[in-house]
């Protein structure tokens, strides 16, 4: 393999757990495991820096005549993205429906074993979108629970339903330590806590401070119990993630949209976040 001179210079400068050579090897190994055949020729190796420190390694391989494969590898191994370049536009499918087919589960589990051999995972969803792309998402578990917010540590595979051909992969890995304290709140308790918070915090502020005529919410999905790493903390804790639509009457119109809240599964208290969880 002929590596461009610029890539060689970058390889010599990058330090950390994952070097440029390791990133290339990881991408090549994954592509082979995902069924990509033929030669792989390095087209680009570069880095994305934050405060002059390499954070992501950008790797591009050509696979004549199949086109290019692009990847971003985190220098500390936290994330790994890989996709077939010519299929990138098709990854934006909006409408999806369940794909209950054991053949695709077997296929993606085989791929999963090649990138997450030592992780305990659970298949959370298997869908197909309007572009014919299948998606399989495997959540990483700790103490039997997934991570339910920012990031949802796990592995997602995208493939052509018509052929089983690999299209894309994303892995968010190396989750933080977890607090082993078991949950005290069940699902009913979490829903009751959400109602209490709306009645005692959100509604009074909306009426008295923002002067809305009224506000209300409607539950969207079954509450999720899992881990979340609070901002500034070292260990993830168990939380209930509740998704809902929030609505407000501002006098001349009804406004609102989808929203979510995290509730501590031990204390029942609301966990405030800077972004929608």
Residue 250 CA neighbour count, 13 Å, CB half = 8
Between 6 and 275, name the one with better pLDDT.
Answer: 275
Predicted local distance difference test score (pLDDT) of residue 49:
87
pLDDT at 22 exceeding the cut of 50: yes
Asked whether the beta carbons of 228 and 213 are under 8 A apart, the reply is no
Report pLDDT digits (tens) over 141-168: 999 999 999 889 999 999 999 999 999 9
Closest CA to 155 of 227, 226, 82: 82
Predicted local distance difference test score (pLDDT) of residue 85:
87
Predicted local distance difference test score (pLDDT) of residue 186:
97
Is residue 262 very low, low, confident or very high in pLDDT (cuts 50, 70, 90)? very high
């Amino acid at each position: 393999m002929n590596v461009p001179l610029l890539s060689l210079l970058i390889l010599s400068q990058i330090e950390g757990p994952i070097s440029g050579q390791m990133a290339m090897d990881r991408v090549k190994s994954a592509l082979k495991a995902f069924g990509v055949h033929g030669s792989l020729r390095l087209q680009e190796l570069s880095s994305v820096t934050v405060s002059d420190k390499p954070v992501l390694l950008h790797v591009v391989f050509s696979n004549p005549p199949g086109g290019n494969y692009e990847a971003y590898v985190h220098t500390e191994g936290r994330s790994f993205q890989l996709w077939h370049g010519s299929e990138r536009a098709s990854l934006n499918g909006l409408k999806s429906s369940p794909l209950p087919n054991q053949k695709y589960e077997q296929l993606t589990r085989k791929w999963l074993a090649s990138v997450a051999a030592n992780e305990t995972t659970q298949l959370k969803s298997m869908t197909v979108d309007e572009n014919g792309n299948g998606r399989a998402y495997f959540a990483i578990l700790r103490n039997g629970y997934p991570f339910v917010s920012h990031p949802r540590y796990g592995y997602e595979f995208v493939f052509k339903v018509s052929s089983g051909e690999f299209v894309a992969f994303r892995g968010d890995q190396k989750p933080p330590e977890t607090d082993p304290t078991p949950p005290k709140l069940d699902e009913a308790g979490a829903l009751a806590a959400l109602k209490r918070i709306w009645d005692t915090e959100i509604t009074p502020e909306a009426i008295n401070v923002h002067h809305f005529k009224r506000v209300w919410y409607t539950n969207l999905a079954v509450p999720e119990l899992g881990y979340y790493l609070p901002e500034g903390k070292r260990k993830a804790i168990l939380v209930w993630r509740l998704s809902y639509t929030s609505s407000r009457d501002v006098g001349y119109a009804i406004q609102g949209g989808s929203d979510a809240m995290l509730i501590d599964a031990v204390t029942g208290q609301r966990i405030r976040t800077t972004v929608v969880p």
